Amino acid sequence: MENLLKDLSLLNAVSGDENDVRAYIIKTLENVNCDIETDNLGNLIIYKKGRKTPKNKIMLCAHMDEVGFIVNGINADGFISLSAVGAISDNVVYGRQICFKSGVTGVIGGKPVHHLKENEKDEQPALSSLYADIGAVSKADAENHVSLGDTAYFVSEFCSLGDDLIKGKAFDDRVGCAIILDLLLLELEYDLHFIFTVQEEVGARGALAATYRLKPDYAVILETTTACDIAGVESDKQICRLGAGTVIPFMDKGTAYDRELYNLAFETAAENGLKCQTKTQIAGGNDGSSVHKTAGGVRTICFAAPCRYLHSPSCVIDKNDFAEMRVLTEKLVSKIANM
Amino acid sequence: MNLTETLKTLCTSPGVAGHERSAGRSGSASEAALKLLSAYMPNAKIDSFGTVKGSIIYNENLPPEGPAPLLLLDAHIDEVGLIVNFIDEKGFLKVSGVGGIDRRVLPAAQVTVWGKEPCKGVICTLPPHAQKSEDKTVKEDEIYIDCGFTKENAEKIITLGDSVTIDVKFTELQNGKVTSRALDDRAGVAAILYALDLLKDKKLNYNIAVIFSSQEELGCRGAGIAAYGFNPDLAIAVDVSYGDYPGAKENTSWKLGGGTMLGISPVLDRTLFEKMKCIASDNNILYQIEVMNGKTGTNADVISLTQNGIKCALLSIPLRNMHTPVEVIQLSDIEATGQLIAEFIAGVC
């Protein structure tokens, strides 16, 4: 499953441009007996039969898209301006290598530190004031490699850190995609529906159409969520912690999760000796915000892997959390199947 | 000599100021530069301060008018970076900057800590909703690295005082430009090596000494120490200077691809400057002039004050995004710098 995450996270699929991830998923499922459909928006809608038929129609959901950049201008000297697709903090863009869809590399830079006034050294320049430099010498030269509307993404290595951590880009939400793919590659206990959605980072949009099409009774959103368990942050502000297991939120900015499912998830984790935690702050949101309100309402729960430095080029997760989240997903599905 | 490969070898070797020899052990910046310099100067070695030095001295063929003057070529081998100060109870490393680092590049950057083994890590940053003020970058005294180790395991590999570099892939951009960390001043080192390559088998007008000096980013310390030993008659310092960027003023930034930058300032020697200008014009070597009003912020400032004082020239290579992991230079500017040095040493002008 870690190899799936590596492959998936190194692919580039900024919201609205999810083709590479979609193609990888379809290819990986080539020899798997399941129904795969791509809808009008580009969502993948998949059904796979299991050994048993559940009492309820259950849907698992992960989003294919990631935060990134879109080209919105090229100046006379061939410097490229960008805007963020999804929420990218100005904190993490200055001094980065990025790659455009054409495969061309650029760097985001600007005024050298030596030319900054003392107070400017503490300020993070806004992306709107910065340019990407591909080495072009003129607008026409740049246009040979980059066009308005092209997407661009962080260049970032996938690697291990320390004892149990892994670091890479786009773990939000290739973690969810990898878990679903891994489930699909093996025999299922119950018939299940799956959606790999588009445009989550621009307002959980793809999930709305895909959920409407399936009209499930229950949904499990597989995600990542912000962990702030880093140096200098007090425990009440850490939200969740790496290595403390699957995050099961009771509420975030988009969804008040089903209380019965929430309790069931904690019970299931305890029964199986799996670590889990909740989020200690009402923050963030995900496809659940669309899913639970669709087609007369869907009872929804979310499992998330705690992730440090979310929406940066250096997402960091604990591999044990990731592995346990997959197991907990399977166990909870079995419970819901018989509810 | 393959300039891109030379530059890549130099830029991918760690050499934070004060750690030019020790970081990455056999793969350190000084070790890499020593190997490259030895091809032209078999007597090359690393001094006790981490500076690489070598020379070509023609004692055996003294011209009738006495020994040729000794010319010192200098570029600095060190780079800006970070240094480990403290390991907290959860294993996070507290670090501070070495040299004038640009803190704007730090949040969420991937780094390598050069401990007993190289360890990867990420510089801690808070997500937007947990920050007090989102437009502020990490404070000087609050830089932490997440290496993923418990304190106990971190201490097995990492020692206080270990150096840290920001990870980035050396990458070719369009039109002969490359991006990497540490192009300041490995580009200068490469320019000197390029000149030595052009001078192979040529009759030289000077005896030559080369220093790839340490600790420039801490205040030009290594160059002063090494220049004292050679006590040259004249010197050329090779460094990088400010490349153009959108919105930059024309007299404070210079064009990438515009050629080598000839420095003129009160601390530099005017006759050498004029001679360089003349050689560049006569040989169609692209150049642009950088005017400074006092100290240059380069090794030229200290080399010129070595022993009884030394006439010094400054050549610079225009570089974008100085002191970041995405510095950018154009190879043709390194070549122009190397050509000008070679013409100065072996030419007829």
Average pLDDT, chain A: 96
Residue B140 has pLDDT above 90, yes or no: no
Classify domain B3-79+181-346 at the CATH superfamily level: Zn peptidases (3.40.630.10)
- Identity of the residue in A109, A122, A157 whose CB atom sits nearest the CB atom of B320: A109
CB contact under 8 A, A135 and B169: no
B positions 281-320 inside 8 Å of A (CB): 297, 320
| B252 CB-contact burial (10 Å; exposed 0-12 / middle 13-18 / buried 19+) | middle
Q: Cite the residue boundaries of each domain of chain B with CATH code 3.40.630.10.
A: 3-79+181-346
Average of pLDDT values for A237-252?
Answer: 95
CB contact under 8 A, B100 and A75: no
Residue A200 is among the residues annotated as catalytic for this protein: yes
B212 in contact with A, Cβ within 8 Å: no
- Identity of the residue in B147, B168, B322 whose CB atom sits nearest the CB atom of A112: B322
In this structure, the answer to whether residues A212 and A278 fall within a common structural domain is: yes
Q: Which of A111, A117, A279 to mutate to test the interface with B (most CBs of B within 10 A)?
A: A111
Residue A162 lies in a domain: no
In this structure, the answer to whether residues A77 and A59 fall within a common structural domain is: no
A positions 6-65 inside 8 Å of B (CB): none
Q: Which residue of B has its CA nearest to A231?
A: B92
Residue B61 has pLDDT above 60, yes or no: no
Range scoring the smallest mean pLDDT among A126-130, A279-283, B84-88, B168-172: A279-283
Distance CA A63, CA A199 (A): 8
Q: Which of A18, A66, A200, A324 is catalytic?
A: A200
Chain A residues whose beta carbon lies within 8 Å of the beta carbon of residue B96: none
What is the structure's pLDDT at B23? 77
Q: How far is B211 from chain A (nearest CA, A)?
A: 25
Q: How far is B255 from chain A (nearest CA, A)?
A: 10
Q: How far is A243 from chain B (nearest CA, A)?
A: 11
A111 in contact with B, Cβ within 8 Å: yes
H/E segment holding residue A315: strand A315-318
What is the structure's pLDDT at A302? 97
Concatenating the DSSP letter of every residue in B127-175 gives -GGG-S-TTB---TT-EEEE-S--HHHHHHH--TT-EEEE----EE-ST
If one counts every other C-beta atom within 10 angstroms of the C-beta of residue B307, the result is: 11
Most confident of A60-74, A113-127, B115-129: A60-74
In this structure, the answer to whether residues A58 and A96 fall within a common structural domain is: no
pTM: 0.92
Cβ neighbours of residue B64 closer than 8 Å, sequence gap 6 or more: none
Q: Which two tokens stand for residue A69?
A: 């950049």
CB contact under 8 A, A124 and B136: yes
CB contact under 8 A, B323 and A113: yes
In this structure, the answer to whether residues A213 and A197 fall within a common structural domain is: yes
Of A154, A183, A201, the one marking the end of a domain is: A154
Chain B residues whose beta carbon lies within 8 Å of the beta carbon of residue A125: 104
Average of pLDDT values for A274-280?
Answer: 96
Residue B348 has pLDDT above 70, yes or no: no
Task: Name the residue range of residue A118's domain.
Answer: 68-154
In this structure, the answer to whether residues A202 and A287 fall within a common structural domain is: yes
If one counts every other C-beta atom within 10 angstroms of the C-beta of residue B125, the result is: 26
Q: Tell me, what's the ipTM?
A: 0.89
In this structure, the answer to whether residues A263 and A310 fall within a common structural domain is: yes
Distance CA A21, CA A151 (A): 14
Distance CA A155, CA A262 (A): 37
Range scoring the smallest mean pLDDT among B63-67, B260-264, B291-295: B63-67
Domain count, chain A: 2
What is the structure's pLDDT at B64? 62
Q: Which two tokens stand for residue B289?
A: 């002039």
Residue A146 lies in a domain: yes
Q: Which of A58, A7, A29, A41 is nearest to A168 (CA)?
A: A7
CB contact under 8 A, A135 and B139: no
Residue A161 lies in a domain: no
CB contact under 8 A, A162 and B92: no
Q: How far is A187 from chain B (nearest CA, A)?
A: 34
Confidence of residue B59 (pLDDT cuts 50, 70, 90): low
Cβ neighbours of residue B61 closer than 8 Å, sequence gap 6 or more: none
CB contact under 8 A, B135 and A308: no
Confidence of residue B138 (pLDDT cuts 50, 70, 90): confident
In this structure, the answer to whether residues A140 and A183 fall within a common structural domain is: no
Confidence of residue B349 (pLDDT cuts 50, 70, 90): very low
What is the structure's pLDDT at B62? 59
Cβ neighbours of residue B250 closer than 8 Å, sequence gap 6 or more: none
Chain B residues whose beta carbon lies within 8 Å of the beta carbon of residue A99: none
In this structure, the answer to whether residues A207 and A308 fall within a common structural domain is: yes
Cβ neighbours of residue B243 closer than 8 Å, sequence gap 6 or more: B253, B254, B255, B256, B318, B319, B320, B321, B322, B328, B329
Of A124, A154, A184, the one marking the end of a domain is: A154
Q: How far is B116 from chain A (nearest CA, A)?
A: 14
For B81-166, CATH number? Answer: 2.40.30.40
Residue A114 lies in a domain: yes
Average of pLDDT values for B29-52?
Answer: 96
* Strand partners for B254: B243
CB contact under 8 A, A231 and B246: no
Contact criterion met (CB below 8 Å) for A153 and A98: yes
φ, ψ (nearest 5 deg) of residue B243: -80, 170
Q: Which of A309, A311, A322 to mutate to test the interface with B (most CBs of B within 10 A)?
A: A309
Distance CA A294, CA A247 (A): 24
Distance CA A21, CA A14 (A): 10
Q: Which of A120, A127, A230, A279 to mutate to test the interface with B (most CBs of B within 10 A)?
A: A230
Chain B residues whose beta carbon lies within 8 Å of the beta carbon of residue A104: 174
Concatenating the DSSP letter of every residue in A275-309 gives -EE--SS-----THHHHTTGGG--EEEEEEEEEBT
Residue A22 lies in a domain: yes
* Strand partners for A80: A74, A132
Q: Which of B326, B328, B332, B333 to mutate to test the interface with A (most CBs of A within 10 A)?
A: B326
Q: Which of A180, A217, A187, A182 is nearest to A50 (CA)?
A: A187
In this structure, the answer to whether residues A25 and A78 fall within a common structural domain is: no
Cα A174 from chain centre: 5
Calculate Rg over the CA atoms of chain A: 21
If one counts every other C-beta atom within 10 angstroms of the C-beta of residue A83, the result is: 12
In this structure, the answer to whether residues A142 and A174 fall within a common structural domain is: no
Chain A residues whose beta carbon lies within 8 Å of the beta carbon of residue B107: 89, 91-92, 124, 312
Cα A86 from chain centre: 11
Q: Cite the residue boundaries of each domain of chain B with CATH code 2.40.30.40.
A: 81-166
What is the structure's pLDDT at B68? 85
In this structure, the answer to whether residues A34 and A143 fall within a common structural domain is: no
Contact criterion met (CB below 8 Å) for B105 and B166: yes
In this structure, the answer to whether residues A246 and A116 fall within a common structural domain is: no
Chain A residues whose beta carbon lies within 8 Å of the beta carbon of residue B136: 122-124
A310 in contact with B, Cβ within 8 Å: yes
Concatenating the DSSP letter of every residue in A18-34 gives -HHHHHHHHHHTTTS--
CATH number of the structural domain spanning residue A94: 2.40.30.40
φ, ψ (nearest 5 deg) of residue A214: -85, -30
Average of pLDDT values for B182-191?
Answer: 98
Of A154, A180, A208, the one marking the end of a domain is: A154
More reliable by pLDDT, B11 or A282: B11
Confidence of residue A140 (pLDDT cuts 50, 70, 90): very high
What is the structure's pLDDT at B65? 67
Distance CA B148, CA B237 (A): 42
